[in-house]
Structure 1
């Protein structure tokens, strides 16, 4: 794979590297390979795919992409004026690693990858096990996440019950 994408000095890592590197390699048979390396702080997979679709549309003769780029995001992302903190964001605080090392948790010999599907009957069974009235009204996503987190905590059995643990969920907020 490294032979298809030229390694530009400084192109690895996150800081001090190129933001976007595109390389087209033409083969003797007439085919070609498109290699793309981007800095993840600037673009995600969905954005890269949208960019490639736009290039494809231009190659096919379009004068503008079917999905226009969004500029002037500051109108959506501005802080209140004056800024004020409305809640504590513990997810950004540095924490020390727990006693169970990440090597133990991510040992591929110990991991089982599978898909789990929750039917309406399964969701109702989870709701029936929840004691709090608030959880009976929560979205399915929150209910499933809470139950999976509870099971994970039981399995890991942390020695210190006050130990800081986190869950991170990747979402697509583009439509918001």
Structure 2
């Protein structure tokens, strides 16, 4: 099964959002070194044969039109990310810039690949999403691909530089595109930039939490990752009944209820440590990102679409993690969520300000 590229078109804002070139600052959460990457994902749209008027529309044209309208408000996606002398990124916005959109086709129906549900052909999936490399990822922080299938259904592939937004921020943008595609005369929520002012470090910065204990990676732990061996990507479908059994088992152990994240996170963490044969006295950490949009004071405005998460941690000795009841690990993950406070977030931002050049390792590994 092949993906045929038809053309790549640069889409510009339907109305020029500005005339003078300018530079925008990012927040300390945006410029976290761990976010100097591109995240990529797919959205599958099934053609509904009952909806004949919509079926006649070319999805490539619909996407280009709605994107052009959305870029009037989110023109930042047309900019280029540039490294300053201090290695932090900033956004350079140039009048007349746009976003590249690739048009592709597949001579097969979506139903033939089960609408990508539990589909494991990674090579085929890679062809459905743009993959900018190196400097291209900075100069083109947003790249889209529309792939139409024989049945009329289509897939929207997106590559977005993480320094511009997280998943929630990207969702605000794509929701705006969807609203405009459905004929909305105006956007529901105007995007809010104000990155550096809303999430700026305090003056003077102060750190009230022991981040040094968590935000550094012991280089001696790297051999457990076996860097000489190529990474292998595998997809595992976790069935609902398996999750229900796991949660039921944890409930029997502790009498508490756990979310999928807490239960599955505890299970995978323990399995990872056991399989790696990490020494018993080694400290192992479970790192995850937690949303701070409604936690900080004042709360971030709803239209804020920058990165809005900070790292949170749970830590044990390897032998503790492996030998203790799994419910205790799940319980520790559950309780850690309540450690996120306004002071925690502000301290993390201040820590970024003070120690950025040391190379903060938040969120890279689950050790």
**Is the Cα contact below 8 Å between 1:54 and 1:65 reproduced in 2?**
yes
> How many aligned residue pairs are there?
159
1:122 to 2:122 alignment:
no
Alpha-carbon separation, structure 1, partners of 2:132 and 2:179: 28
Structure (1/2) with the larger helix percentage: 2
Unaligned ranges ≥5, structure 2: 10-99, 101-130, 296-367
Distance 2:270 2:147 in 1: 50
Contact kept in structure 2, 1:127 and 1:143, CA below 8 Å: no
> Please, which moves more after superposition, 69-78 or 17-26?
17-26
Deviation (angstroms), 1:69: 1.8
- For 2:198 and 2:160, how far apart are their aligned partners in 1? 25
- Kept in 2, the 8 Å contact 1:95–1:164? The answer is no
- 1:92 aligned to 2:215? yes
Kindly indicate whether the alpha-carbon contact (under 8 Å) linking 2:138 and 2:161 is maintained by their aligned counterparts in 1. no
Q: Is residue 46 from structure 1 mapped to residue 168 from structure 2 by the alignment?
A: yes
What does residue 287 of structure 2 align with? Answer: 168
Contact 1:25–1:32 under 8 Å retained in 2: yes
In the alignment, structure 1 residue 149 sits paired with structure 2 residue 269: yes
Of 12-21 and 140-149, more deviation after overlay is shown by: 140-149
| Partner residue, 1:133 | none
TM-score with structure 1 setting the length: 0.57
Q: CA RMSD in A?
A: 4.5
TM-score by length of 2: 0.33
How far, CA to CA, are the matches of 2:176 and 2:273 in structure 1? 44
Deviation, structure 1 residue 84: 0.7
User: Partner of 1:52: helix, strand, or coil?
Assistant: helix
Cα offset, 1:18, TM superposition: 1.5
Equivalent position of 1:3 in the other structure: 5
- Larger relative contact order, structure 1 or 2 (CA cutoff 8 Å, min sep 6): 2
Higher strand content, 1 or 2: 2
